[in-house]
Amino acid sequence: MLVVQKFGGTSVGSIERIEAVADIISRTLRAGHQCAVVVSAMGHSTDELLALAHAIDRLPDPRELDALLSTGEQVSAALLAMALQKRGVKARSFTGWQARIYTEPVHGAARLVRIEPDGLREAIAQGVVPVITGFQGIAGEDVTTLGRGGSDTSAVAVAAALGADLCEIYTDVTGVFTTDPRVVPHARKLSEISYDEMLELANLGAQVLHPRAVEAAKQFNVRLVVKSSFVEEEGTWVVATATGFEQRQVVTGIAFEREVARIALIGVPLHRHGLACVFGELAQAGINVDVIVQSVVQSSDVDVSFTVKEADCERAVEILGGLKDQLAYQGLVREAGLAKVSIVGAGMISNPGVAAEMFRVLAEADIPVKMVSTSEIKVSCIIPADRVEQAVQRLHAAFLEP
């Protein structure tokens, strides 16, 4: 069996942790499996490299920033290869260009285009464990980085390119839980979860897996398991259709995201094609818009509200201010200090009344709901940020506890 194993920053955060990871890989090899390994940078080294760059220039050149940040994983990959060699395991570190991981010509948040795995396959056939730097690739002659969570994505992509039997994502938690155990200490670990549910949870704030990694796993049907590198314990399987005990629950998990801001445009004339203009300009500026609510107040005007990350709020308001004459809207309102809480579950498709129950729980706790967004398998509410933990606890008790 060919296994791709990915180890995150906390898993390789020190020499002791790297030695422990080398033991995990060695056990996998002794069990008769072949391995390819993808690693993140050690601990907080990416943040430290960013701080160095910003000490030189508040807005460093994107190409040079990628060249700098890519060195963090080269350190962890080389050290892990050394630790494996010390154990008598043939191992070799591979940078993004050596592994032939090709991306878009974008710096800071490039998307994968393709992987040419012949070099990796040759190494594996020779009994060598390739230790690959996640989070990076090449575009032309330049090093590119994939953005936060990119190592998850490259691990799944490597597994797909190699036709691996399994992709193991090792992290500092033992799997995917019904919600964040730091907020609900008795949250349950799920034995399995569907790709669609995991993708919703990842997009809605759960930080166990990156959404792009889940998308890739679903697209290429990669068998995926999330487990801990700190303790030996069964993890959570991410599968096409979950069939275990959890699927008898209407709701599978609860996610939340802080630092949300709401922006409302009042009285946008319909004839100005305002929505296309507003969201086109925001997209061009790289501002991600989340929940959108439009209401027709008069036959000629609409009010539209949407959410962005708090960090993007000022820039968004500045862009919209520049469009005031063009759009002729009557007013602009902004509100920070918000959060998003979401319930997710494939069982919601065939169970009416789930949204009503969510609203009832929040109303009984006197938690105001500012905006609502739904899909077939999720309901999200925008609420005050200082009430988010209480909301998660109340919803968990209502939907996920006996």
Which residues fall in the annotated binding site for ATP? 6-9, 171-172, 182
| Annotated binding-site ranges for substrate | 46, 73
Phi, psi of 209 (to 5 degrees): -130, 150
Q: What angle do CA 31, 43, 141 make, to 5 degrees?
A: 90
The rounded distance, in Å, linking the Cα atoms of 132 and 142 is: 18
Residue 79 CA, chain-centre distance (Å), reads: 26
Measuring CA to CA, how many Å separate 337 from each of 82, 308, 316, 331, 349? 47, 12, 16, 20, 32
Residue 151 CA, chain-centre distance (Å), reads: 10
10 token code pair? 């906390």
Return the sign of the alpha-carbon dihedral for residues 210, 216, 217, 219: positive
Alpha helices (runs of H) in 251-293, residue ranges in sequence order: 274-284
Under 8 Å between Cβ of 396 and 358? no
6 forms bridges with which residues in the sheet? 38, 169
Task: Show Cβ contacts of residue 199 under 8 Å, excluding neighbours closer than 6 positions.
Answer: 211, 214, 215, 218
CA-CA-CA-CA dihedral for 166, 33, 11, 60, to nearest 10: -70
381 forms bridges with which residues in the sheet? 341, 372
Under 8 Å between Cβ of 171 and 208? yes
| Annotated binding-site ranges | 6-9, 46, 73, 171-172, 182
Q: What angle do CA 326, 329, 330 make, to 5 degrees?
A: 140
User: b/e map of 168-188 (b: 16 or more CB within 10 Å)?
Assistant: bbbbebbbbbbbbeebbeebb
99 token code pair? 């592994």
The rounded distance, in Å, linking the Cα atoms of 131 and 128 is: 9
Longest dimension (CA), the chain: 75
